[in-house]
């Protein structure tokens, strides 16, 4: 029996408030957010940070939960697949992107401009979520991390952000 594939992806925001999109053949040349598979034994945060470093050269911080999505044999994807898409909103202090072979180009865009691009469906839903909820995001903490939480909101974060960790409500 084949099982769905759990993946991570994030809408990443740079210090100028711009969103990162990549154009990828895997999604029939539509624009998407970077992401990928979770390796066995990785936390979702570890997987997200690894995928972004591998695919874009970016280091992520201030990571927030976004809605989980599901794609079952999406005609937008290059082959039949069943994905559980664990989505996040994250920030980076960097603007220089180094793409690997999975993406053909990238763009840093204002949110409203990004919404005008030819986006795959999961990416459009993620951008719309961010547009509608950016002032009430919930921060991710990684209870399995060996280092202090680097995702704690900083002085630039909204006062309405709540941290979720071991003491989930």
- Identify whether 85 is part of a domain: yes
C-alpha closest to that of 58 among 105, 113, 8, 100: 100
Number of domains in the chain: 1
Query: In the predicted model, what is the mean pLDDT of residues 139-158?
Result: 55
In a domain, 135, yes or no: yes
Average pLDDT over residues 162-169: 36
pTM of the model: 0.83
pLDDT for the residue 143: 64
Within-domain flag for 169: no
Q: How far is CA 10 from CA 2, 46, 50, 80, 86, in A?
A: 26, 13, 12, 22, 8
Whole domain around residue 15: which residue ranges? Answer: 5-164
State the pLDDT at residue 141.
83
Give the ranges where the chain is alpha helix by DSSP (H): 44-56, 111-114, 121-133
Domain-located, residue 14: yes
pLDDT digits (tens, 9 = 90+) for 38-89: 999 999 999 999 999 999 999 999 999 999 999 999 999 999 999 999 999 9
Cβ atoms of 126 and 66 closer than 8 Å: yes
CATH of the domain at 49: 3.90.79.10
């Amino acid at each position: 029996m084949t099982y769905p594939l759990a993946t991570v992806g994030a809408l990443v925001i740079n210090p100028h408030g711009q969103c990162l999109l990549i154009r990828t053949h895997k999604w029939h040349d539509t624009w998407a957010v970077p992401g990928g598979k979770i390796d066995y034994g990785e936390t979702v945060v570890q997987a997200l940070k690894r995928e972004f470093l591998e695919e874009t050269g970016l280091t992520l911080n201030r990571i927030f939960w976004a809605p989980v999505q599901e794609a079952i044999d999406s005609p937008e994807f290059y082959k039949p697949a069943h994905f559980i898409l664990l989505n996040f909103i994250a920030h980076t202090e960097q603007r220089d992107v180094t793409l690997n072979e999975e993406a053909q180009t990238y763009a840093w865009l204002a949110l409203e401009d990004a919404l005008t691009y030819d986006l795959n469906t999961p990416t459009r839903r993620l951008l719309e979520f961010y547009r509608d909820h950016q002032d009430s995001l919930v921060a991710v903490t990684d209870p399995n991390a060996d280092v202090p939480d680097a995702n704690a909101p900083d002085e630039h974060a909204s006062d309405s952000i709540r941290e979720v960790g071991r003491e989930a409500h």
